[in-house]
Amino acid sequence: MSQPKRHHWWPQTQSRFWTATDGLVNVARPDGTSFKANPNNIGVESELYTRFASDDSKDTSIEEWFANAIDGPARAMIDYLSDTSKVRRRRFRGDPAQAETCRQLGFIVTDEIKFIVLPDEIRIAIARYISALLVRHPSYLAKLIDFHKNDKASHLDARDSALDNMIYLYDQYERVIRKSVLMITRRNSSSEYLYSDGGLVVEEPWRKRYGIPFDIHAPLTPDIAVQVLPMPFLDDDLSTASFVDMTNQGVARMNRIALGSAKRFVFSRQSPPMNFICRYFGIPAPKNIGYRIIGGNLETKYDPNRN
């Protein structure tokens, strides 16, 4: 079997969901121009994770591992989360003030809550896939190489150490995400989720306050996304994930997170919302939702003035 040379940091398993009826992905630039591209040619770099030996031999085992252990199960995971027949409902009427806050955030509030059961294999696939998306990104790997270059004799040595560190950090993220509270959000509006060439956004070093090290917004398709919130206590039922429908306003909030990491391109299935993309391209999303622990319970607070 030939060794892979083209390494997709945005796996085709996922990027193919961003194709329109013509089989192409819309790609927007910050200057307001756009073009269409085949997903084969998006989110790809030559031999990104290849190890090079002194005799010029190549080791592509990391890319093969990504493809088989991470990207392979991801398609079944995305299909599962996209299947609305998996969604369950339960009657619920919450505090009116909190319900209004949820509406301001772009959640569709009704007299029921929705959730989806997460079999172990689906939760594990989510944790592995999101962790891999984070650490396999070229800019993340570049940071690791830069970190190691002063301690190594050559660029190749620094790169090998960075690849080792990438796998170590993958394990750290996977361990935490597997035990995190997950929320699946679905667009119930005309707007779709966007993805950018900056990949997923996460704070590093991890936060220490309140025991919540990070939170993650991960678009899986133009229609659904996963929100990850590690909790400082594990009394939550991790066998399910809440399932929430979003208005255009809610999708826009999530898209600002994706746009905040954009470097050169933003990807969409539908025609790109160019005014929105140009306005927020590369601008970090506002941190207007705060967390705190009161009496062993997590409380969140939304400040609409921090936009």
Mean pLDDT of 36-63: 92
Tens digit of pLDDT for each residue in 178-188? 999 999 999 99
Q: What is the DSSP pairing of strand 266-268 with strand 216-219?
A: unpaired
CB atoms within 10 A of CB 16: 16
pLDDT of residue 148: 92
Tens digit of pLDDT for each residue in 251-303? 999 999 999 999 999 999 999 999 999 999 999 999 888 877 777 777 788 88
pLDDT at 203 over 50: yes
Tokens describing residue 224: 């659904």
pLDDT at 233 over 70: no
Tens digit of pLDDT for each residue in 25-45? 999 999 999 999 999 999 999
**pLDDT band at 236; cut points 50, 70, 90:** low
Tens digit of pLDDT for each residue in 150-185? 877 688 889 999 999 999 999 999 999 999 999 999
pLDDT of residue 1: 41
pTM of this prediction? 0.93
Percent over 90 (pLDDT), the chain: 78
Helix (H, G, I), strand (E, B) or coil at 15: helix
